[in-house]
Amino acid sequence: MQARRAARELAFILFSQFDKKITNYSKENLDDIIIKSVRILSSSANDELKTSLGMLIDLRNKIDDYEAEHEINLNRPLEAENVPVPIVMTSEMAEKIDSLIDVAEKSILALEIAEFVTLESQNEVKSYAINIAETFQQNHKEIDDTIQQYATGWDFERLVKMDKDILRIAIAELLYIKEAPMKVIVDEALELAKKYSTDDSASFINGILAKIIVDNGIK
């Protein structure tokens, strides 16, 4: 995982922890929230892994039952051990495997972010996440006004908070920090939306960011 990608996800978790006006947080507050965010990620990964273990056990039991109830084994003597049988990849099993893959990917990502932050050599992750937060602190009115301007037909206060936070991070990078390639910022904003927000969030966020990029001549 790239450090900047980890920093963006950490910044998103950090934003979700704010319980008061962004300008009321000091650098020390942000450091404390970073630690809390890492704990949340680690706890989430632990829960996801426990869930995946349960799903794997369930899947294994289904395979064992399928084997035992297959006509090849039903026709064998009762005292004989079951023999392996051909198995068809049903849609139900494919769906369970897809879910396990998704859980595994999320868990790996969460643990990688936690590792990035705790390793002194990877201080870039923490620093860049705080840079995003401080940039938003300093320009929060302009950034939120930009979201309102381009969220045509939407009441800013009624927008999903997760969508607003993803947009805040992306706009802070696009218009103020200006260190990462535009495509990377947009792609990773959409990944955050797909992972954390609603089904329609990615297209909504993409539409707003596309307009901002065109109107500001960002390349």
Contact 137, 129 (CB under 8 A): no
Give the global pTM.
0.69
Give 61-117 pLDDT, tens digit per residue: 888 888 888 888 888 888 888 888 887 666 667 777 777 777 777 777 676 666 666
What is the number of alpha carbons within 13 Å of residue 159 lying toward its C-beta?
24
Q: Helix or strand or coil: residue 193?
A: helix
Give 111-148 pLDDT, tens digit per residue: 666 666 655 445 778 888 889 999 999 999 999 999 99
Q: What's the rounded Cα separation, in Å, for the pair 41 and 121?
A: 20
Number of structural domains found in the chain: 1
Q: Give the domain range for residue 183.
A: 3-215
Contact 49, 152 (CB under 8 A): no
- Domain with residue 117: its CATH number is 1.10.940.10
N-to-C CA span, the chain: 24
Bigger pLDDT: 196 or 142? 142
Per-residue tokens: 47: 């829960």
